[in-house]
Amino acid sequence: MPGKDVQEQSASGLEGSLTDHMTRIQRELGASDDLIFKKFQCMQVWPAVTIYIDGMVDSQLHNAILQSLMLKQEFEHDLSAEDDRVEYVQQYTLIAAHSGTFNTYKELYDRLLSGHAILLLDHEEKGLWIDVAELKERSVGEPQSHTVVRGPMEGFTENLRTNTALIRRRIRDPRLWMESRQIGKVTHTSVAFMYIKGIADEGIIEELRKRLDRINIDGILESGYIEEEIQDELRTPFPTVYNTERPDTIAAGLLEGRIAIVVEGTPFVLLIPALFVQFFQSADDYYQRADIGTLVRLLRYLSFFIALLAPALYIAISTFHLEMLPTNLIISIAAQREGVPFPAFIEALLMEITYEILREAGVRIPRTIGQAVSIVGTLVIGQAAVAAGVVSAAMVIVVSITAISSYVIPENGLSITVRMLRFCMMFLAASFGLLGIWIGLMTMVFHLTTLRSFGVSYMSPFGPYVAPDIKDSIFRMPWKRMKTRPVYNATTDKLTHRNARRQQVGWFSGRRKS
């Protein structure tokens, strides 16, 4: 196979003259227009060439380094034929801060296509890479998908080093370790994962290493590729890997013993393991008083059930259980539905599908006209549908409340899950009434209890019940009550340092630890 031949050739060592190297590189890279070669005399003694990709290097820095290499220099010692000229240039001549050597074409192409400049000397079996990369990137700004009410107004960007630096700015501890991989046979995307040594579970870290090393794919273009490759269970609508573009959320997760996965080219950083309750939490909860954070969190749980069950409850009650409603409300609903030609299930299905179309159109449509289209979709179409007798006014109200409630859920992945399960609940309600809704809820709960995120129970701390972790699940307890890290984290560093110091002086003696 031609592709296999190229890979085998790329793995071979550097041999031959500069002309041989240049001819081979031009051939294997297709003689691309942005491939630049500059031949010169290194230290006015040795024939050499620098190679780089135009647009990926800092041209001023490259030219400054090139000028330093072209200057005549007095040798520190006499070089014999056996001496390593590449090592000499790197140690005594090169002014670049970051550089290194390589001895295969595969390493040459990896460095060249990463934005480094390549230095080759005539008839040398090693080459030198020089870090002069200047990749255009978006500046750090406010996160777009996670609105900030109170807290840092900065989010991740598409540059991996910028993202890791944003995390290190918040956790200035030598125990914050980082490991890197290049994943993707074609793209060679840089992927790094960060954790706090001694706090993160070593078993989860080792499992993550194995799952990343098992990935066999042509390219990684976004962190969603990694998320799907490393998750425990594919046959589930629920997200088992958390993602965010807020550095403070990632820093908080690392302090709890979780692991952050940063992918080059995307502002969304992954966090594992992920629990069901984590998708109802927001960084804003911890920047306000505990009572306010608890109230907002309870509102999110209520909105979750409204978004999941509101249309199904309307269908079940209006079809099977009208006796549950007050007489005046029954008369009002019957009057509204008198001219509607469809049963409640078809009516709700039409409205929900229409709303999903409008929502998807709002995402794809240009921003300049997006607001006008949303107003037309929600007001004009809804009012016209009621006036035409296609749907009842009560159904429009139910669908509107359902749509608004779905936006209260902080994490978009769980919001999409609710949108999918809503249709299942509507079908069960139209078939069996409230009994169908109960069957659907029980099936969902049983399914949730079987899920794992890197071996951790997805429904923890509810199933199995873990009393110490309840303090930050449905309720957000005051910081004085936040004495321990999550129980699922198998580490000896269970207490925060603040509370550990208090324990040493006996402040908590005789008190029950939560």
DSSP 301-338: HHHHHHHHHHHHHHHHHHHH-GGGS-HHHHHHHHHHTT
Count the neighbouring beta carbons within 10 Å of the beta carbon of residue 496.
Answer: 15
State both tokens at 407: 């936006």
Burial 76-106 (b: 16+ CB within 10 A, else e): eeeeeeeeebbebbbeeebebeebebbbebe
- How far is residue 453's CA from residue 445's CA, in Å, rounded to a whole number? 16
User: What pLDDT does residue 80 have?
Assistant: 52
Q: Is residue 386 within a helix (H) or strand (E), and if so which, with residue range?
A: helix 381-387
The tokens describing 494, both together, are 């269970």
Which two structure tokens, joined as six digits, stand for 172? 């200035």
Q: Do strands 46-53 and 259-263 pair parallel, antiparallel, or not at all (unpaired)?
A: unpaired
Q: Per the structure block, which two tokens stand in for 10? A: 């790329």
Task: Pick the closest to residue 489 from 253, 194, 141 (CA basis).
Answer: 253
For tokens 């790197």, the residue is 90
> Are the C-beta atoms of residues 242 and 411 closer than 8 Å to each other?
yes
CA distance 162 to 173: 18
Give the span between the Cα atoms of 272 and 267, in whole angstroms. Answer: 17
Position 57, amino acid: V
* Residue ranges for the chain with pLDDT beneath 70: 1-13, 73-83, 135, 367-380, 490-514
b/e code 350-375 from CB counts within 10 Å (16+ = b): bbbebbeebeeeeeeeeeeeeeeeee
pLDDT at 511: 36
DSSP bridge pairs for 52: 36
**Domains of the chain: which residue ranges?**
2-130, 160-286, 290-450
Residue 370 is predicted with a pLDDT of: 63
Scan for tokens 């409850």, then name that residue. Answer: 313
pLDDT at 376: 61
Q: What is the pLDDT of residue 493?
A: 66
List, in order, residues 6 or more apart from 440 with CB less than 8 Å away.
312, 421, 424, 425, 428
Helix (H, G, I), strand (E, B) or coil at 261: strand
CB 51 within 8 A of CB 37: yes
Say what the pLDDT of residue 11 is: 55
pLDDT, residue 226, reads 93
Instruction: Tell me how far apart the alpha carbons of residues 89 and 213 are, in angstroms, rounded to a whole number.
Output: 35
Is the separation of the CB atoms in 461 and 489 below 8 Å? no
Three-class SS state of 45: coil
The string of pLDDT tens digits covering residues 93-128 is 777 778 888 888 888 888 888 888 899 988 888 888
pLDDT at 447 (0 to 100): 94
